[in-house]
């Protein structure tokens, strides 16, 4: 990957105007339904295939590097692509344009779904889509297993550690969500220690990192609490976008009581069916805590690390990818993340309030896990069934 100086002189960057970046990245933010796979496909088609701003190898390198960073990988890839074609200003503009359409839609939907007295059909849509969310969590976890399983290695000890990390994340998400960040970091640091010991190297730096994060203030309130929750989502979420669910759920529902369990199900569903990054779910939590201002604040705090990671890290992505410590950390944190996503299905399922939602959850599991159909379509179908039941006079 080229250095900063080489990148600034690339012919592609000089030809791309800020207006073009604003237009194209806003378009991607408006049509980016389907989560990270859809975002990656759209970015590749725009930057590599249609406009030829970025080479195919360079795009793959950027995608691999952003996947090593905490936070929403597809958003970071969108910021990185804008950085490649127009530098820091382009990265900031492109990232904002990619995020804002989904953010506006999420905040608008939050105002409707979290209103004091929403219409019955809105409640039915929310209850129907919310019933399917635990199945979405299991679907998201299953999709991450193969790559993580290959990454850990083939020896018995490596496979045993994979299961241990997976169980640690799953049990914590299911029972003690407030400690999830510490558990994720501990699993990553454990793998660093094991692999460094095999190379006869001291794991001191990893322990320092764990201590710094583990020592965060346990009791916060008001805007400080909201900022801390959003920061965990943006800076400490390793793996797929759905890992934000167990990171937020305990704080939003149990610790700070910003939302009920059913409302949190609605928030996750909104984050899945709207375009743009799944991390926008944090804006729903912010809206529940402090209205529109809280939603905007939560989004800014959650996405700020992504901009910083790319702006300061992009010139060094080659070294980041080759760093054995980072690779080892992600190898250990990955199974824990997958376990946490799967484990979040337990409290999400317990948040279901009505008996009719149980068969709807079972149907969603069949749709996603056996039929292997799409998440957005599954949530829309479940929401539609909820609307029908609400109109028919069912409990919502």
Walk along the chain (396 residues) in steps of 10 and give the mean pLDDT of each run: 40 71 96 84 93 90 84 92 95 97 94 87 91 92 88 91 95 85 89 83 44 44 87 79 82 91 90 86 94 96 95 86 84 89 91 93 95 90 94 87
Give the span between the Cα atoms of 390 and 130, in whole angstroms. Answer: 14
Encode burial over 386-395: b for 16+ CB neighbours within 10 A, e otherwise: bbebbeeeee
Q: Are residues 211 and 273 in the same domain?
A: yes
Q: Are residues 256 and 330 in the same domain?
A: yes
Start-to-end C-alpha separation, the chain = 54
310 assigned to some structural domain: yes
DSSP conformation class of 179: G
Place of tokens 């320092």: 208
192 assigned to some structural domain: yes
34-40 own/partner pairs: CB under 8 Å, 24+ apart: 34/374, 34/375, 34/376, 35/74, 35/241, 35/272, 35/278, 35/375, 36/72, 36/73, 36/74, 36/240, 36/241, 36/278, 39/74, 39/75, 39/77, 39/78, 39/277, 40/74, 40/77
Q: Are residues 89 and 149 in the same domain?
A: no
Q: Are residues 24 and 155 in the same domain?
A: no
Residue 177 is predicted with a pLDDT of 77
Q: Are residues 164 and 92 in the same domain?
A: no
Q: Are residues 147 and 87 in the same domain?
A: no
Q: Are residues 168 and 44 in the same domain?
A: no
The secondary structure of 246-289, three-state, reads HHHHHHHHHHCCCCCHHHHHHHHHHHHHCCCCHHHHHHHHHHHH
Residue 15 is predicted with a pLDDT of 67
Q: Are residues 238 and 319 in the same domain?
A: yes
Q: Are residues 179 and 240 in the same domain?
A: yes
Last residue of a domain, one of 49, 79, 101: 101
Domain of residue 240: give its range.
136-352
274 assigned to some structural domain: yes
How many distinct structural domains can be found in the chain?
2
74 assigned to some structural domain: yes
340 assigned to some structural domain: yes
66 assigned to some structural domain: yes
Q: Are residues 93 and 221 in the same domain?
A: no
3-class SS at 71? coil
Q: Are residues 86 and 197 in the same domain?
A: no
Place of tokens 């998440």: 375
Q: Are residues 190 and 267 in the same domain?
A: yes
């Amino acid at each position: 990957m080229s250095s900063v100086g080489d990148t600034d002189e690339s012919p592609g960057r000089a030809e791309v105007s800020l207006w073009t970046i604003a237009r194209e990245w806003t378009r991607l933010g408006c049509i980016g339904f389907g989560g990270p796979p859809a975002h990656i496909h759209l970015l590749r088609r725009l930057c590599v295939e249609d406009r030829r701003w970025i080479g195919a190898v360079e795009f793959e390198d950027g995608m691999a590097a952003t996947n090593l960073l905490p936070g929403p990988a597809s958003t970071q890839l969108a910021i990185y692509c804008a950085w490649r074609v127009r530098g820091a200003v382009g990265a900031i503009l492109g990232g904002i344009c990619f995020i804002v359409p989904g953010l506006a839609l999420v905040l608008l939907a939050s105002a409707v779904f979290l209103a004091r007295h929403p219409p019955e059909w809105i409640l039915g849509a929310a209850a129907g889509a919310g019933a399917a969310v635990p199945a979405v969590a299991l679907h998201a976890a299953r999709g991450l297993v193969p790559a993580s399983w290959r990454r850990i290695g083939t020896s018995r000890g490596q496979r045993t550690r994979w299961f241990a990390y997976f169980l640690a994340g799953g049990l914590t998400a299911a029972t003690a969500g407030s400690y999830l960040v510490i558990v994720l970091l501990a699993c990553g640091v454990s793998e660093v220690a094991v692999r460094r010991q095999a190379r006869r190297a001291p794991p001191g730096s990893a322990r320092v990192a764990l201590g710094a994060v583990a020592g965060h203030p346990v009791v916060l309130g008001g805007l400080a609490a909201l900022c801390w929750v959003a920061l965990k989502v943006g800076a400490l979420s390793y793996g797929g976008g759905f890992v934000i669910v167990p990171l937020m759920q305990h704080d939003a529902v149990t610790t700070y009581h910003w939302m009920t369990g059913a409302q949190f199900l609605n928030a996750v569903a909104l984050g899945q069916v709207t375009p743009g990054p799944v991390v926008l779910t944090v804006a729903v939590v912010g809206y529940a805590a402090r209205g529109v201002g809280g939603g905007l604040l939560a989004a800014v705090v959650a996405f700020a690390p992504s901009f910083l990671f790319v702006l300061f890290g992009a010139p060094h992505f080659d070294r980041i990818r080759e760093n054995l410590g980072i690779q080892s950390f992600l190898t250990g944190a990955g199974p824990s993340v997958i376990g946490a996503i799967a484990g979040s299905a337990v409290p999400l399922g317990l948040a279901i309030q009505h008996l009719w939602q149980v068969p709807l959850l079972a149907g969603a599991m069949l749709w996603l896990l056996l039929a292997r159909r799409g998440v957005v379509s599954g949530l829309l179908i479940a929401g539609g069934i909820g609307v029908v039941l609400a109109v028919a006079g069912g409990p919502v």
